[in-house]
DNA sequence: GAAGTATGACGTAAACATACGACATGGTGT
DNA sequence: ACACCATGTCGTATGTTTACGTCATACTTC
């Protein structure tokens, strides 16, 4: 790609320079990095029945914005939605969710301060 | 605030409309939402001694950009840095880190698909 | 004090994220 | 066919993040 020679600031492109695991963890964290998406996940978990699109009525956001967040959650595989006539049933995709959770928690568990015995910090 | 009456699109402001816990979880996830910050945390965890600012040499990023990520991690309280003469010692702030980890994992554990028995999904 | 080195702060450009109104789509019911 | 309803898509305005070069600061060493 000769074009890359002319790119001055490779904004946002450096993410690909890290390990696949680091990218994957960051990707999962990004999905969880907005309170609305946390709220949606919690709402779906609490709901006893499949929830249609009136999730927006339970949130301080417009239907359009909620739909956008739902799309992101769906793209990440954390939830799945199937059309049921007039409404769409959104549910947590437990399989993908558990995998994502496992990957994230595994990374978090591996982070442990190994320095700072007494000389510094 | 009368000014709010004139704000057409309240971009990015709706985050405050969610619960403090949802905001906090999202804030933690946001810090972890970039592979560079994951890499920095892992690097600090693996390092046996306190690491100075040459973290950038271990990463595919410029020193300036790494410094920016370090600042974000520091603002979040996940790491701490103390000046030691010419260099700065960056370490994981185990106490804050553990709290953040606990909050995040607690939220993740509470998410469980409760619908979709057989009728849908 | 001057030179050298390591660091953070400032400024800037490009890409992305957020939020919403308006429109298009597609099934329901009359 | 027609109106109705719930949903997704598109366009747009605004704010935030990412990435880097350049400068200012501060400590060390000669």
**Residue boundaries of the structural domains of chain B:** 20-105
Report domain B20-105's class: mainly alpha
Please calculate the CA angle A67-A37-B99 and round it to the nearest 5 degrees: 175
Q: Is A29 exposed, middle or buried (0-12, 13-18, 19+ CB in 10 A)?
A: buried
Strand D bases near protein CB (under 7 Å) are 5-10, 12-22, 26-28
Q: What is the mean pLDDT of chain B?
A: 85
Say whether residue B1 is in contact with chain A using an 8 A CB cutoff. no
Average pLDDT estimate for A85-108:
93
pLDDT higher than threshold 60 for residue A10? yes
Q: Who wins on pLDDT, A101 or B84?
A: A101
Q: Is A100 exposed, middle or buried (0-12, 13-18, 19+ CB in 10 A)?
A: buried
pLDDT higher than threshold 70 for residue B93? yes
Report domain A19-106's class: mainly alpha
Q: Do A38 and B26 touch (CB under 8 A)?
A: yes
Question: Contacts of residue A89 in chain B, CB cutoff 8 Å?
Answer: 115-116, 120-121
Say whether residue B97 is in contact with chain A using an 8 A CB cutoff. yes
């Amino acid at each position: 790609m000769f074009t890359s020679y002319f790119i001055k600031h490779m904004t946002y492109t450096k993410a690909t320079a890290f390990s696949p695991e680091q990218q994957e963890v960051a990707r999962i964290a990004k999905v969880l990095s907005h309170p609305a998406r946390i709220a949606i996940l919690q709402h779906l978990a609490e709901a006893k029945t499949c929830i249609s699109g009136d999730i927006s009525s339970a949130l301080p956001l417009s239907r359009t914005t909620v739909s956008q967040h739902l799309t992101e959650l769906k793209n990440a595989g954390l939830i799945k939605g199937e059309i049921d006539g007039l409404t769409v049933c959104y549910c947590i995709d437990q399989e993908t969710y558990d995998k994502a959770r496992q990957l994230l928690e595994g990374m978090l568990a591996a982070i442990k301060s190994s320095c700072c015995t007494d000389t510094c910090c």
